[in-house]
Structure formats: C-alpha cells, structure tokens
Amino acid sequence: MKRITVALIGQPNVGKSTLFNALTGGNAIVTNWPGTTVSKSEGVIRHCQYEIHIIDLPGVYGLTAFTIEEKISRNFIVNEKPDVVVVLVDSLSLIRTLYLALDVLELIDRVVIGVTKVDEAHSRGVHINYNLLEKQLGVPVVPLSAVRGDGLRELAERIISVYEAGRREHTKVDYGELSTYIESAEALIRQCDLGLSHRWLAVKVFEGDPETLELIKSRCTSLYEDLVELREEASRILKVDPAVIVARSRFKHAESIGKTCVIQVAVRKKAPSKLFYHPVYAPLISIAIILAVFTLAFNLNTGFPVASILESVGFSELAEAIENYTISSLIERFLEWSSSTLKGLLGENAISLFLSEAVLGGVGALLLFLPLIMTVLATIGVLEDTGLLTRLAVGVHTLFEKLGFSGHALFPLSLSLGCNVPGLLVARAIPSTAERVRLIMLLPFIPCQARLVVLLALATAVRQGFLLVVLSYIVAFAAFFALGFALYKWSTMRSESVEIRLLLEQPPLHKPIPRVVWWYTWWHTKHFLVKAGTIIVLANILFWLLSHVGPSMSFTDDPGESIAASFSKTLTPILKPIGISGEGSWIIALALIAGFIAKEIFISTLLTVTGASSVKNAFTTIGVSEQSVIALTIFVTLYVPCLAALSTIYSETRSLKLVAEAVLLMLVVAYTSAILAYTLALVLTL
Amino acid sequence: MNTVVGENKITTLDKVSEGKEVTLISIEAGRGLLSRLLNMGLVPGSKIRVLVNKGGGVLVISVHDTEISISRGIAQKLLVRVESP
C-alpha cells in the first residue's frame, strides 16, 4: 500500500464539506489544528493499492492569510507539503472560484481540479468543456456531484495518476505592469532558497501576505528591507496597491479561461427573492421564520410551548399526551428503567449507587441532551443547506446593527439555543474581532436545551409555570442584547474599530438535501459529544464523590454529611436576599454548585438530596416559597451554563482573564436579576 | 436616498440604484478587508450589478455570478463607475 497525502481546499460554498463527506463516507477523524480550536477532519480512502489520506482544509477565498482559517489552509499547503492538492471550483461560478485554484497552481506541482455541483449546473444551462479546461490549466479536471456520487472514483484515480506523474511547470499568470517588479523580487528571493516557488513568494510579497513577509524577515533578513522597498516603489510608481493588480490579473486569467470553456445557455434565471431584503418585511419575515422553526424543534424535544399552552387553557389530557411522547420524556423513562434495573441486579450498595448515579447519571445527562441538541442542529442544518440562513442573517442585520451586532451573529445565536458549545465555536467566523469577543462573552446567556429542561422542571413548582419559562427566555435575551449594546457603546467610547460589517456570500436557494443536513448535524454534534460530553461525565463523577464522601474520607449515604454539603453550608447567606433561608437552604446551594458543572445536575441533586419525588415536593421539604422559586429560576437561566461552555470560551480566546470576566458578569447579572425578580414577585402577590 | 447619477460618473457603490450595472474602480479599505474583498471577486475592473439597494441597510450585489450581501459601510468604500445607459 502506498500512502498519498491529499489536501482538499476550496472557497466557502463550493460544496467542499459535502464532497469530503461523500468521499470518506462520513468516517472522518475530527481533531483540532494544533494550537487552535479549528476542526481538522481527516479521512482515508483505499483505491488500487493506494491509501489516500484526505485532509479537509478550512474554506478560504485565497492563499493570502489574514484570518485563523486562512493561515491554517495556507500553512498546511506551504509547509506540510501534501503529495497532491485537490482544489475545488464551483461550476456555478467557475471564474470566481478559479481564482483560488490559480493561486494554488502557481505554487504546487501536483494538483487536481474538482468541479463541483455539475448536476445543478446542467439544470441551470451551464455547460463546461472539461477537456479544454484541463488543457488550459495543465492539470487533471474532474467533474463532480457529491450528492449523486458522480466522479468520486475518477477523482481518486486522477489523484493517483498525478501523484505518480511527478512535477509539472507552475502556472504563470500575467501580472501586466507589475511583471517587472515581480521578476526583480523573484531574483532577490532566489538568493535565499526557501524551498518554495520563488515566483509565488514574490507574488505573495506584493499581495502583502503577512505569513510570507514574516518568513522572509526571519529567514532572509537581509532581503526583507529590499523587498519591502520594491513593493513600495511599485505602489508609488504604478499608483495602485500592488495587491489590487495581483488580484485583477489573476481574475483576468480566470476570466479568459472561463470565456473559452463555459457556455451559458439561456434558461430562465430566477430573480433573487427580494422579500428577504425588504427593509420592513425582511426583519419581520426573518424573525417569524426563526421563531417558527425553533418552536417546532423545541416542541418536538420537550413539548414546550404547545403542551404548556394547552395545559394552561384547560386541555390537560391532550397536553399530557404530547408531553409523554416528546424526545426528552422518552429518554428519561429509558434512563429510569436502566438505573433501576442496574440497582436491581447489583443490589443497593456503594458500587451500584456509584454506577447508577455517578456514571449512568452523567452518561444519561449526555444521552438526554444529545437528541435535543441534534433536533436544533438539524433545524439549523436545513436553514443552512437551503441557503435560507444567510438570507435570514441579512434580514436581521439592520435590526441587530442597532444593538451592536451584525447579521453574522445569527448563526452562533441560533446554535446556542441548542448548545452553547457549537454556538461559541461558530462565532469564529465573525470578521470583526471586537464583535466576536463581545459575542463570546454573552452567548452563555442564551438558554440551551439543557437549561430549557431545567426551566421546565422548575416551572412545575409554581402556578404559572408556562409564563415563568417564557419570562426566563425574555430575560435571557434582554440581558444578551442589553449587555451587548452596553459593551458596544463602551468600545465606541474607547474609539476602537466599531463599524458593524456584513459581508456574506448568498448561495443559490434550493430544496434541502437530507444527506447534507445530516452531515451538518453530525458535524456539530461531534463537538458537543467530544467537548461537553467528556467534561460533563467526568465532572458528574467528581461531584458525586464529593457529595458521598464525608470529611473523614469515608463513604456516606447521607449527602448532608458530605464534603460538598459542608462547603454549601458556608454559602447559604448568599441565598437570603431571594428568600431562601433555614435548615435546608444548603441543598439549594449544593444544587447550584452542581449546576455550575452542568445545568441538568441541578435538578437531580435537588431530588436525590431531599429524597423527594418531584421538584415541587423538594421545594416544600426545604421550605422554598413560590416567589423564591421564581427568583431561583431566573438565576439558573442566567448564571454560568456549564463547565464545557467555560472551557470553550477559554480555548477560543486563550485568555483566562476573559473567562473570569465572563463568569463574573454572568454571576452579577444573574444575582441582581434574581433579587429583582424576588422583590417584584413579592410586590405582585401581596 | 438614491442619488441620480449621470453618464460615466464616478461614485461609491452605496449610491448606485437598484438594477444598475457598474464597474469597480478601487477599494479604500484596510489590508484585511481589502484582501477578503479581492478574493471574493470584488476586483477593480469587475462588473457589479446592484440587485438590492433600498437607500438604507444591506446591499445585495451580483459579481462574477455570485450574490453577495454587504453592509452599507463596506459599500461606501467601493469606488465605482456608472456607465451611460
């Protein structure tokens, strides 16, 4: 078996992830790029004695690197030297996507060009002469349809033939008036061999690629000044930024290829749906669509809000029927059954308790939320795949702009309704750093599915439970936007870069493709499983031990005697302002500490420690008034979502200071809101 | 609101009315944004068709067969030539 390493690169929206999944059949290993949290997927295909390792690089528009993603893709191709690079271009916008291909072709010997979405192109009257395209580019060109599976075999064959064929001449783009300068730079760079195409490096100098300049500065220090000087001279004499000339020339080259290889037959072109861009209707329609799809997903998960509404208007039987068949109640019943079976098999002892509560409890929490999160992710997957999501982002932009966020914030915001972890991760795509940091600080305020389940459980302890849940969501969103606006204003006052920008490609609208939606869902679910999963399971075990081991290090059946309890007892004065005091108030403190690890343990702690059969009974046992439950619910909604979210904030910002600030902000906001809620509840029920 | 532009007039993209096709002349932006715009196909010399411009909010343009939505602030950085009708 010969091993071939292949880098898969393409511009955003060319269908790269879809193709990668089709190639590897979803059997990819997902890790992170070293030193970052950008996901790295690697898959293997075997074809006639060859083992082809495919590495999916982040989607980039060009090899000039300014963002994290661009740096990863550029550096992988430049430094890791994969055997073959496959560049994907979009048959629907061949010229524009050939741009990246040309950038790669100027640097790399062994390249295969994959032309994606050929099935769609045909129906839109786009015809491409692949043979001619191949001739003009000087490398193999393979037409592909990931959805139908066309061309995948040929792609593998072409990768092998290119690998075996060896070197070829680099493509030469004519850079017009800049040519003489590029040649001079090339001559300079030749004096200091960096093992890369001299011409490509010269072009990158004129494009102002920070990575190239850095490389030259450190390895060919004596040349650096001369090259920068040359660049400035070109800029001065040509009166244009050389980066513009490079881009223009490369496009001209792409255009000349496009003109000869593409025939566009007139088919009736659908006008872009202007509804999504209307100044008044667009925000309304966007918000209506978002509310509708999330209500549907929430309802499937927990029965909220439809069942709760039915209940409050008197159709309690119907509401119960719905609640019995929501995903969360089905899983809960399964977990109860397995826990009691386990206890039955092993008898009631320390080990069976440990297994059923600490281990199964943590795994169960994970199992319980997995489908809930997947429903929300699938919903967003549909929006994304159809091209609706980017339109909705534009729809809400004008509204968000007034609050200090751009339309880009819609993606992380909606993912966070499922789970904060993937929400925090996609915030990376936000172009403005200041906005991104603001979002990362505030996204934890958005209630995830775990918190929804806890809120619904708490709501059973008050008379107007449904209203309490709705109120919690309103408070959470209000906190998110109010603080976002405050932070935005603050950065304006410090006169940092504050322009709220939106720059989004709008892929053509089409019907959702179930396979693609599944890939999207699974991709983000993996993040939840790997990141949140490990932390939740481990922390749950640790917490269980702390609440079952006494200060003398011996096992105890009574949680009141445990280490965790004695620590909680010191915290009880904090609960006084929301009306929780007395003997059992430490149980609430303990549950809140548990909730810091993961929200769902809040309820299970409350139930196991009090030994009550329902949340309502638990509160009665401890002696918590209805007003205090309301305050507690608000607190639970707003304070730290879970350890996994915190660790994600850290890995995304690499700043402990920012994590501390975020935690402090959440605690302060949660505590003040809770006291406010308690006072209001007291006044209203007088 | 939309400024009426005469023949071969040079203006910024945000002032071009809906349905008009213009040619991009230059971009006044910092390195990062400039690089992103160039790579997305907004290269001087490109033909840009303004699909949506309501005089406020986001613009939608078509360039090299791709629909791109851009905020007004970015559109103000794009200098374009309006060809005679």
A257-297 residue pLDDT tens: 998 888 877 655 555 567 778 878 888 888 899 889 888 88
For residues A551 and A565, give the distance between their C-alpha atoms in angstroms, rounded to a whole number. Answer: 10
A397, B58: Cβ pair inside 8 Å? yes
User: Domain-by-domain residue ranges, chain A?
Assistant: 2-165, 176-264, 281-448+466-498+515-523, 559-684
- Given a cut of 80, whether residue A362 has pLDDT beyond it is no
DSSP readout, A213-237? Answer: HHHHHHHSHHHHHHHHHHHHHHHHH
Give whole-number Cα distances, A661 to A440, A480, A656, A664, A668, in Å: 11, 15, 9, 5, 10
Cβ pairs bridging A and B (under 8 Å): 125
Residue B1 belongs to a domain: no
Task: Give residue-wise pLDDT tens across range A231-241.
Answer: 999 999 999 99
Report CA A92 to chain centroid distance, whole Å.
27
| Residue A40: per-residue pLDDT | 80
- Given a cut of 90, whether residue B25 has pLDDT beyond it is yes
Q: Any CB–CB contact under 8 A between A240 and chain B?
A: yes
Structural domain of B56: 9-82
Residue B53 belongs to a domain: yes
Question: Mean pLDDT of all residues in chain A?
Answer: 88
| Residue B5: per-residue pLDDT | 47
A278, B26: Cβ pair inside 8 Å? no
Q: pLDDT tier at A335 (50, 70, 90 boundaries)?
A: confident
Q: Which residues of A touch B57 (CB under 8 A)?
A: 279, 397-398
| Residue A666: per-residue pLDDT | 96
Provide the 8-state DSSP code for A645.
H
Q: For the domain with range A2-165, which CATH number is right: 3.40.718.10, 3.30.390.30, 3.40.50.300, 3.30.360.10?
A: 3.40.50.300
CATH number of A176-264: 1.10.287.1770
Q: pLDDT tier at B7 (50, 70, 90 boundaries)?
A: low
- Given a cut of 80, whether residue A659 has pLDDT beyond it is yes
For residues A674 and A97, give the distance between their C-alpha atoms in angstroms, rounded to a whole number. Answer: 53
| Residue A514: per-residue pLDDT | 86
B52, A503: Cβ pair inside 8 Å? no
Is pLDDT larger for residue A576 or for residue A312?
A: A576
Q: Which of A212, A433, A502 to mutate to test the interface with B (most CBs of B within 10 A)?
A: A502
Residue B3 belongs to a domain: no
Residue B58 belongs to a domain: yes
Stretch A81-104: mean pLDDT: 93
Strands (E), A49-173: 50-56, 84-90, 111-116, 126-128, 141-143
B35, A394: Cβ pair inside 8 Å? no
How many domains would you assign to chain B?
Answer: 1
Give whole-number Cα distances, A75 to A134, A211, A212, A559, in Å: 27, 8, 10, 54
For the entire predicted model, the pTM comes to 0.79
Nearest residue to A206 via CA among A257, A248, A164, A166: A248
Which phi-psi region, left, alpha or beta, contains residue A322 (left: φ > 0; alpha: ψ -120 to 50)? alpha
Nearest-by-Cβ selection for A398 from B26, B58, B74? B58
Q: How far is B15 from chain A (nearest CA, A)?
A: 17
Report the share of chain A in percent with pLDDT over 90: 44
For residues A351 and A354, give the distance between their C-alpha atoms in angstroms, rounded to a whole number. Answer: 5
Residue B2 belongs to a domain: no
Q: Which residues of B touch A272 (CB under 8 A)?
A: 51-52, 60, 67
Stretch A513-539: mean pLDDT: 81
| Residue A413: per-residue pLDDT | 93
Task: Give residue-wise pLDDT tens across range A110-145.
Answer: 999 999 998 888 778 788 888 889 989 999 999 998
Nearest-by-Cβ selection for B39 from A61, A252, A504? A61
CATH number at residue B32: 2.30.30.90
Q: Any CB–CB contact under 8 A between A394 and chain B?
A: yes
**Token pair recorded at residue A158:** 């072409």
